[in-house]
């Protein structure tokens, strides 16, 4: 039963992710965007290349994941979905949205909001993984340092850092955005 619940939850998150991506694609740029000089805008090819890093990656435990969306000018949005570890949320699925996120070339960093006194900072890079073709499992890997910041009732923060490698999930698990009508 637990595998079924996890699968249904992941499918629900996937549907939300796909529909939010469609809404973001249909959004119009702000009126002042046309007024910016051409040299201030990033090259479209570089922007397009960075967006291929968008997707779902593994996280610390089976069933947990990181969703990353690379937007214009290296802005990164996303969230971590993980199981709670505290007394009040043990085993509950928690979503922690990014407070900040940035991609500069292949260097990636993000900080999550605090949820139940826990937040995460990631500093690292996006690297090619063992997947042979785009869309394969682990085609990209997020490698770097993940710092877990835990705040107690007295607001004392304890930090624990570790080296991590989060593998991209295969892309055929979700419908292709180009099939949209």
Each residue of 130-158: pLDDT tens digit?
Answer: 999 988 999 999 999 999 999 988 889 99
Alpha carbons 106 and 50: distance in angstroms, whole number = 8
pLDDT at 26: 46
**Range with the poorest average pLDDT among 67-76, 100-109, 119-128, 165-174:** 165-174
- How many CB atoms within 10 Å of residue 74? 17
List beta partners, residue 78.
68
pLDDT at 147: 98
Q: If you average pLDDT over residues 98-105, what whole number do you get?
A: 97
Q: Average pLDDT of the chain? A: 79
The gap from C-alpha 114 to its chain's centroid, in whole angstroms, comes to 16
The CATH fold assigned to 2-25+44-172 is Lipocalin (2.40.128)
Alpha carbons 156 and 146: distance in angstroms, whole number = 19
The token pair that represents 111 in the structure block? 């900080």
Alpha carbons 134 and 7: distance in angstroms, whole number = 24
């Amino acid at each position: 039963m637990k595998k079924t619940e996890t699968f249904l939850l992941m499918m629900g998150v996937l549907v939300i992710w796909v529909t939010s991506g469609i809404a973001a694609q249909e959004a119009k740029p702000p009126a002042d965007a046309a007024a910016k000089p051409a040299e201030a805008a990033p090259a479209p090819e570089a922007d397009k290349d960075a967006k291929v890093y968008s997707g779902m990656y593994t996280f610390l435990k089976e069933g947990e994941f990181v969703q990353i969306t690379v937007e214009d000018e290296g802005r990164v949005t996303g969230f971590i979905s993980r199981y709670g570890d505290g007394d009040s949320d043990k085993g509950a699925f928690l979503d922690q949205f990014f407070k900040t996120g940035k991609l500069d070339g292949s260097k990636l960093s993000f900080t999550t909001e605090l949820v139940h006194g826990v937040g995460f900072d990631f500093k690292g890079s996006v690297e090619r993984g063992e997947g042979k073709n785009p869309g394969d499992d682990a085609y990209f890997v997020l490698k770097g340092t993940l710092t877990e910041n835990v705040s107690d009732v007295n607001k004392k923060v304890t930090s624990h850092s570790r080296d991590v490698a989060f593998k991209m999930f295969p892309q055929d698990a979700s419908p292709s955005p180009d099939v949209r009508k």
